[in-house]
Structure 1
Amino acid sequence: MIEVELIRASYRPDRITTLFVGESAPASGDFFYLGNNAMLRHMQRATETALGPADGEFLDRFKAYGWFLDDLVLTPVDKLPPSKRKTTCLAAMDGLKDRIAAYRPLAIVSMLVGIKNIVETAAKAAESNAPRYAVPFPGMGQQTRFQNAMLEIIPSLPRNGIKKGAG
């Protein structure tokens, strides 16, 4: 997991405008910032549908916007039994709170409805007034719901060089 966190750090913008919070990197190694994975493809499709295509690599554009994907839990939880998974997520709340306080994002998006309450609690504990959103994870038949939810919020998500709510 050290490699995952080093790769994630290489994509961290100087100023995080929008913080996306996933549950954890998957045990399979199909990590968002490694490219060529379903989460990246769905995020790219939603972003390009909402904002139009752009030249260059999507992850570079994502970073240039000030967008950053962090995870609630910094070790994979997707293969854990449900009760252990929930306990692990709850135990990670303080770490997320500290990162939100350090990042000071202008908006926060939970990338899984099931972690919304934990992310909300962490943001409040970090004294963040950033607007918070939650979208379904784009897996297990939820791809269309994810796309629709992202299309609704992307235009209003803060981006570097773009005022909130501007195209």
Structure 2
Amino acid sequence: MMDHPETIRASYRPDPITTLFVGESAPASGDFFYYGNNAMLRHMQRATEAALGGGDDFPRRFKSYGWFLDDLVLTPVDKLAPSERRAKCLAATNSLRDRIATYRPLAVVSMLVSIKRIVEAAAKAAGSNAPVYGVPFPGMGQQARFHREMVEIIPMLPRTGYSGCAADSEAHTWN
């Protein structure tokens, strides 16, 4: 049996968080990013490796960059009716605001175009002036667009240096 998504997510939370990626919610299927071997992780890995080069153990490298994937809604919404799904996303704004205020990321990436305005509102309400980027979710025929847009923005995203050791923790931005 796998750990609850929020338990496993917490184990991958870097300190500090340089770039916060915000998804809509973990999927009802249980195909969660931090469980590994899923489409979202593979698409992020391909885009990151295309922009920055390869490496081993992508989830560990993702964390070592100071990157963290959180979700707007902390319960699955992907099987809900569109109106209920949208209502849950809007209702989660304050929760995301509070998490952004705690995380204090240097950049935020909305992983679904339809939630970008909510993510921007939450970041603004948190007092963050981090840039907010938005990319399409890599599904439903948007995989190539996701890849193109991520490859373009990844070099601009703040990250800590990756050396495979905990001592390398100074945050840098490469432009």
**Normalized against structure 1, the TM-score is what?**
0.96
- Name the aligned partner's letter for residue 79 of structure 1: K
Separation in 2 of the partners of 1:165 and 1:110? 20
Number of the residue aligned with 2:144? 144
1:51-62 map, 5 Å = 51-54=52-55, 56-62=56-62
Number of the residue aligned with 1:116? 116
Q: Deviations over 1:51-81 (max 9, x none)?
A: 0001x31000000000000000000000000
1:133 aligns with 2:142: no
State the 1:114 CA deviation. Answer: 0.3
**What secondary structure does 1:96 align onto?**
helix
Number of the residue aligned with 2:90? 90
Separation in 1 of the partners of 2:88 and 2:43? 26
1:74 aligns with 2:74: yes
Number of the residue aligned with 2:14? 13
1:28-43 map, 5 Å = 28-43=29-44
Number of the residue aligned with 2:50? 49
State the 1:164 CA deviation. Answer: 1.7
State the 1:123 CA deviation. Answer: 0.3
Match of 1:163 among 156, 159, 172: 172
State the 1:121 CA deviation. Answer: 0.3
Structure 1's 2 and 52: CA in aligned 2 closer, same or farther, altered over 3 A?
A: closer
Number of the residue aligned with 1:25? 26
User: Runs (4+) of structure 1 moved beyond 6 Å?
Assistant: none
- Alignment gaps of 5+ in structure 2: 162-170
- Alignment gaps of 5+ in structure 1: none
**CA RMSD between the two structures:** 1.2
State the 1:163 CA deviation. Answer: 2.5
- Name the aligned partner's letter for residue 59 of structure 1: P
State the 1:14 CA deviation. Answer: 1.2
Separation in 2 of the partners of 1:74 and 1:43? 20
Separation in 1 of the partners of 2:137 and 2:94? 23
Q: Deviations over 1:87-134 (max 9, x none)?
A: 000000000000000000000000000000000000000000101100
- Name the aligned partner's letter for residue 53 of structure 1: G
Separation in 2 of the partners of 1:13 and 1:98? 17
Separation in 1 of the partners of 2:77 and 2:3? 16
State the 1:2 CA deviation. Answer: 7.3
Q: Deviations over 1:10-37 (max 9, x none)?
A: 0000100000000000000000000010
How many residue pairs match? The answer is: 165
